[in-house]
Chain A
Amino acid sequence: MFSLIKIEWLKIKRYPAFWWMLGIVSLTYPGVNMMFYYGYSQSLAQSKDVGAIVKMILGNPFTFPETWHSVAYFSSFFILLPSILVIMLVTNEYTFRTHRQNIIDGWSRDQFITSKLCDVLIISVVITIVYSLVALSFGLYVDSNTSYRWSEQLYYIPLFFLQTFAQLSIAFLLGYLLKKAFISLGIFLFYYLVVENIAVTWMQFKLNDLGRFLPFEISDRLIPPPAFMGRFNKDYDKVLHAIPQFVVYSIVLTALIWLLCFRVHRKRDL
Chain B
Amino acid sequence: MQPVLSLNGISKSYGSIQALKNVSLDIPQGCVFGILGPNGSGKTTMLSIILDILKTDNGSFNWFGKKGSPETRKHIGSLLETPNFYHYLSAVDNLNITHAISGRGSAEEIERVLKIVKLDERKTSRFSSYSLGMKQRLAIAAALLGDPQVLVFDEPTNGLDPVGIAEIRELIKELAKRGKTIIMASHLLDEVEKVCTHVAILKKGDLLTAGSVDEVLANEDIVEISANDIGQLETILGGLSGYSHIKKEGSRLQLFFPVGTAKLEDVNRFCFEKGITLNLLTVKKKSLETKFFELTNQ
Contacts and interface: CB of A to CB of B under 8 A. Distances in A.
Contacts of A105: 73-74, 78, 97-98, 101-102, 142
Interface string A139-156: 000000000000000000
A111 interface: yes
Contacts of B85: 96, 98, 101
A103 B100 contact: no
A106 B80 contact: no
A10 B93 contact: yes
A108 B70 contact: yes
B97 A11 contact: yes
Interface string A82-101: 00000000001000111011
B245 to A, nearest CB: 46
Contacts of B80: 100, 104
A3 to B, nearest CB: 7
A14 interface: yes
Contact of A96 (B52, B84, B102): B84
B70 A97 contact: no
A260 to B, nearest CB: 18
Contacts of B51: 103-104
B293 interface: no
B70 A107 contact: yes
Interface string B43-62: 00000100111110000000
Most buried by A among B54, B55, B71, B88: B88
A3 B103 CA distance: 11
A270 interface: yes
A102 B86 contact: no
Contacts of A103: 51-53, 70, 73
Contacts of B73: 103-106
Contacts of B82: 97
A111 B102 CA distance: 13
A6 B100 contact: yes
Contacts of B88: 14-17
Interface of B: 48, 51-55, 69-71, 73-74, 78, 80, 82, 84-90, 93, 96-98, 100-103, 142
**4 closest residue pairs by CB, A with B:** A106-B74, A101-B84, A97-B84, A105-B101
Given A15-B88, A103-B53, A107-B101, 13 more contacts: A7-B100, A11-B97, A14-B93, A15-B89, A96-B85, A97-B84, A98-B84, A103-B51, A104-B53, A105-B98, A106-B70, A106-B71, A107-B70
30 contacts: A3-B100, A7-B100, A10-B93, A11-B89, A11-B97, A14-B90, A15-B88, A15-B89, A17-B88, A92-B86, A96-B86, A97-B84, A100-B84, A101-B85, A101-B98, A103-B52, A103-B53, A104-B53, A104-B73, A104-B80, A104-B84, A105-B102, A105-B142, A106-B74, A107-B101, A108-B69, A108-B70, A109-B52, A269-B54, A270-B53
